[in-house]
Amino acid sequence: MPCAWATAKLVTLHDLSIMKEDNEPSSGDSLFSDESAAGPVEPKYRVAEGADGHSHGHVLEETFDDDGTVPGNGMFVSGYYDGCCSGDDFGGDMVMDRLRSKPKPVAAMFVHAGAGFHSHTNEEYHLEACRRAAQLGMAKMNAGGSAVDAVVEATKCLEDNTITNAGVGSNLCLDGTVECDATVVDHNGRSGAVGACSHVRYPVMLAEKILIESYKVLALRRISPILLVGEGARQYAKEHGIKVVDNEEMVTINARDRWEKWTEELRKATGSPRHSAPSGMHMPGRFDHSAALLTGTFNEGQPDSPRNGIGASSTSNNRTEAAVPTRQRQSMTPETQGAQVCSVSTGSPPAKRIRVMEPTLVTSSLNTPVTPTRTSHTTGDQLDRAQASQDMKPEDEIYDTVGVIAIDYQGRIAAASSSGGIGMKHRGRVGPAALVGIGTAVIPADEGDKSGTTVAAVTSGTGEHMATSMAAYKCAERLYLSTVRGRDGSDVPLDSEAKILTSFIDHDFMAHPGVRNQESRPAIGIMAVKKTSRGYYFTFGHNTESFAVASFASTEKEPRCTMSRVPETRHGRHRPVAGGLKISI
């Protein structure tokens, strides 16, 4: 058949027909339908007239191969199909198949390792923990796993890493036992959680099991639990095949080191008898390094702080020598706008930067100094920070939980948190990592919302303050509705995720009546993801000195790892900083 120039009328890709040249439409027709009210806008195929009088089909670039070629006789150049083909099939059905093809789904992982102060000495370990967790979560989804599977896998990695206050190496209770909290929330907002859970190797796995079982109907129309605590949680783990271990397997040398120090300081402060060492804990010589003891008895996540040159062991009570990852030079760049960003490299390509900004929508300052000069007399499980650290220089002061958010290839979102709780707590204390809406929250997509908007948020900070302000849910709600708190308490629209986050910290958290008059310092770090039809909006903010976060999209080769830091000149003021990025889909 003789070659003929292809022509087409402006129709949807589902009803594309080929016409004769004498029916050729005029140039410049829109690529999109004006009938947007009838449903989602569909891409169109248009005909543009060339200088030679022939028509050249304008097609969507993303439907073609990387080299610009199109099945048939032509070449894709500058957005146009320039060539000739059969007048019967316009180059064959393959062209239409490519035009009809949908963009490849995008999965994403987001991880934080706690908000507080991360020493420069141990920065590499915290960022490496985030990087590894993000990679394992992504690998789970690449293998067909769901968002819930991914957040559980990533959180298990963090629980296994003794530098975090989650799982192995967590802070100890007064009597030297380890009790952990964890939550998993799926895309429907359904949750499973455990609190004050002892002897469970991976608390997040038990939380996941509770979530899964909550979808099942029990005999006699009983309702499945979504939160179990204490001995009930441990017994549930045994019944459902979740690994249960001796307490000694959960205790690391540094955790024991902190417990001994706190026990001695508490004895001096209260005149209490000396506590004996927890069962199963070895008593070698104490580490001669600066331990992070300032905030561990007030806040959730005092992590292990390894000596210089000593890596963070995954599972052993005894530390082993490990190579320190190569640390990149810390620098200020124009895009950071006031906050310092550091990355870590471990032999793979350098981690990409996540934009960090100092928002302008800040109307109040956080004037509490890093180390309080006030000294109070305490009893029970609370020990004054200043008294506990008179002879010790802090290395890491990490607050609260570790947290993970994931979006899978089906577009479903999920979130998880895990924590070992505050140091020297009473047995049975339940922290924010076990409480939905406080440490972890998901606002599901509305069935009538064509954009499919959904938000997940995980928090890190002083747990009791976050519980008072319902931090995770309130933050997620602000992002979902794109509002901030006005002067009279009303909701004011604002189209900036970073500014919404800093406004939340200032006005919904710090200015909350139940928080602002507290004696202890209100500290918080937030990591949130807003998923819409336009992309994934990853945002984080904190009023602490630093916040370790990472993001990893399936379109990227390596996670982006960032240590967000408040500039040195602003220490003591604690105005919130925020940052983030958009992942296009």
Residue 204 inside a domain? The answer is yes
Residue 273 inside a domain? The answer is no
Strand 483-485 relative to strand 491-493: parallel, antiparallel, unpaired? Answer: antiparallel
Please state, in angstroms and as integers, the Cα–Cα distance from residue 152 to each residue in 94, 345, 428, 439, following that order.
41, 25, 24, 16
Residues 410 and 475 in one domain: yes
Q: Which of 540, 512, 515 lies closest to 526, judged by CA?
A: 540
Q: SS3 letters for 455-513? A: EEEEEEECHHHHHHHCHHHHHHHHHHHCEEECCCCCEEECCCHHHHHHHHHHHHHHCCH
Residue 538 inside a domain? The answer is yes
Catalytic residue annotation: 401
pTM: 0.69
Residues 239 and 183 in one domain: yes
Q: Which of 53, 131, 467 lies closest to 328, judged by CA?
A: 131
Residues 127 and 27 in one domain: no
Count of beta carbons in the 10 Å neighbourhood of residue 187: 22
Residues present in the chain in total = 585
Residues 441 and 568 in one domain: yes
Q: What angle, rounded to 10 degrees, do the helices at 203-214 and 230-239 form?
A: 80
Domain count for the chain: 2
Contact 180, 419 (CB under 8 A): yes
- Which structural domain, as residue segments, surrounds residue 176? 108-249+331-584
Residue 31 inside a domain? The answer is yes
Residue 299 inside a domain? The answer is no
Residues 461 and 579 in one domain: yes
Q: Which of 105, 387, 433, 412 lies closest to 267, judged by CA?
A: 387
Residue 297 inside a domain? The answer is no
Residues 579 and 436 in one domain: yes
Of 54, 72, 100, the domain-final residue: 100
Contact 444, 478 (CB under 8 A): no
Tell me the C-alpha distance between 380 and 542, whole Å.
30
Residues 175 and 56 in one domain: no
Contact 331, 148 (CB under 8 A): no
Of 100, 127, 158, the domain-final residue: 100
Of 59, 80, 100, the domain-final residue: 100
Residues 480 and 569 in one domain: yes
Residue 261 inside a domain? The answer is no
Tokens of 234: 């441990």
Tokens of 462: 């002083």
Residue pointed to by tokens 């290395």: 395
Residues 96 and 175 in one domain: no
Residue 319 inside a domain? The answer is no
Residues 388 and 506 in one domain: yes
Residues 70 and 130 in one domain: no
Q: pLDDT (tens digit, 0 to 9) for every residue of the chain, 585 residues total? A: 444 433 333 333 333 333 333 444 433 333 233 333 334 433 333 333 344 444 333 333 333 333 433 333 333 333 333 333 444 444 456 655 655 667 789 999 999 999 888 888 889 999 999 999 999 999 999 999 999 999 999 999 999 999 899 999 999 999 999 999 999 999 999 999 999 999 999 999 999 999 999 999 999 999 999 999 999 999 999 999 999 999 999 999 989 998 999 899 888 888 766 555 554 444 333 333 333 444 555 546 444 555 444 444 444 333 333 333 333 333 323 333 334 433 333 334 333 445 544 333 222 222 222 222 223 333 333 333 333 333 333 457 665 589 999 999 999 999 999 999 988 999 999 999 999 999 999 999 999 999 999 999 999 988 999 999 999 999 999 999 999 999 999 999 999 999 999 999 999 999 999 999 888 888 999 999 999 999 999 999 999 989 999 999 999 999 999 999 987 765 556 689 999 999 999
Work out whether the CA dihedral 454, 115, 582, 208 comes out positive or negative.
negative
Residues 55 and 194 in one domain: no
Strand 227-229 relative to strand 191-197: parallel, antiparallel, unpaired? Answer: parallel
Count of beta carbons in the 10 Å neighbourhood of residue 173: 24
Give Cα 96 to chain centroid, integer Å: 40
